[in-house]
Amino acid sequence: MSRKFKLCALAAGLLAAAPLAQAFDGGDFILRAGVVHVAPDDSSESITVGGAPLLGAGVDSKVTVDDNSQLGLRATYMFTDHIGLGVLGATPFKHNINGGGDIPNDVKLGETKHLPPTVTLQYFPMASSSKLQPFVGVGVNYTIFFEEKTTSNLDGALGVGSSELELDDSVGVALEAGLDYMLSDNFGLNAAIWWADINTDAKVKVYDGAGNYLAETDEFEVEIDPMVYMVGFTYKF
């Protein structure tokens, strides 16, 4: 038997014995990092005080919420080759709160920051050996609002010395779909999209120039319900 034939036979035997590269297996941890963009599909109730329009009869005062992008971090633990538990986190998002209704959209009334931790149960339909791993998920979003502020635009329109905004935290359903494409056993690319049911009850309190409390608006609901997009990198271990 020639030396060349022996080497070929040995190589074939090693290839046959070597396991196929696995993309995602049960027990794997998958980390993803990239850019997350939040695009609210927003609407709000009219703002009133004691049932009367905030800025007087015939003026429909509402608010809108603008987009924002931040660093996103996601993690998945694979219970099996096809089922995983995913967690979405990010650096705090900052949104301007602008006019709506009869108030022009380019008038900034306030701003807020929020964190949107989201937990989903994910399903991966492809075989674990596939480099391309699409998935879908359903779960719960908990949105924490903080550092709410109003602007001098709002204070001037109301004729008050100062004002403050209060936003309640939100709990709602979250849906997601995405995919990972593994470039090697450990590294890959990913993209995902979410829809989250985010509603908050808002209230504005106003004060005179000396800081004395004057009045507050009726509580009004703001529906944010954003589409959330992310692209980034995947690391599996």
Q: How far apart are CA 111 and CA 42, in angstroms?
A: 15
3 state SS of 226:
coil
pLDDT, position 7: 40
Query: For residue 167, is it within any domain?
Result: no
Q: Which structural domain range is residue 55 located in?
A: 20-148+172-198+222-236
Q: How far from the centroid of its chain's Cα atoms is residue 30's Cα?
A: 18
Q: Is residue 104 part of a domain?
A: yes
Q: What single-letter DSSP state applies at residue 215? A: E
Confidence at residue 24, expressed as pLDDT on a 0 to 100 scale: 86
By the 8 A CB rule, do 149 and 165 touch?
A: yes
Q: Name the token pair of 144.
A: 């924490």
Give me the torsion for CA of 38, 41, 45, 47, rounded to 10°: 50
What pLDDT was estimated at residue 58?
Answer: 85
SS3 16: helix
Tokens 């090697």, residue located: 184
The pLDDT value recorded for residue 59 is: 87
Bridge partner residues of 48 (DSSP): 53
| Continuous segment of H or E residues that includes residue 214 | strand 213-216
Q: Is residue 11 part of a domain?
A: no
Measured distance CA(16)–CA(154) in Å, rounded: 72
Is 120 part of any domain?
Answer: yes
Query: Residue 223: its pLDDT value, please?
Result: 94
Q: Give the domain CATH number at 41.
A: 2.40.160.20
Q: Looking at the 3D structure of the chain, how many domains does it have?
A: 1
Mean pLDDT per 10-residue run, the chain (237 residues)?
45 42 83 96 93 88 94 95 94 94 92 94 94 96 95 91 95 96 94 96 94 93 95 96
Task: Determine, yes or no, domain membership for 24.
Answer: yes
Report if residue 207 sits inside a domain: no
Contact 94, 116 (CB under 8 A): no
Q: What is the pTM of this model?
A: 0.83
| Tokens representing residue 76 in the block | 């998945």
What is the C-alpha to C-alpha distance for residues 17 and 22, in angstroms, rounded to an integer?
Answer: 15
Q: Do the domain assignments include residue 65?
A: yes
Secondary structure string (H, E, C) spanning 178-235: EEEEECCCCEEEEEEEEEECCEEEEEEEEECCCCCEEEECCCEEEECCCEEEEEEEEE
pLDDT for the residue numbered 22:
60
In a domain, 211, yes or no: no
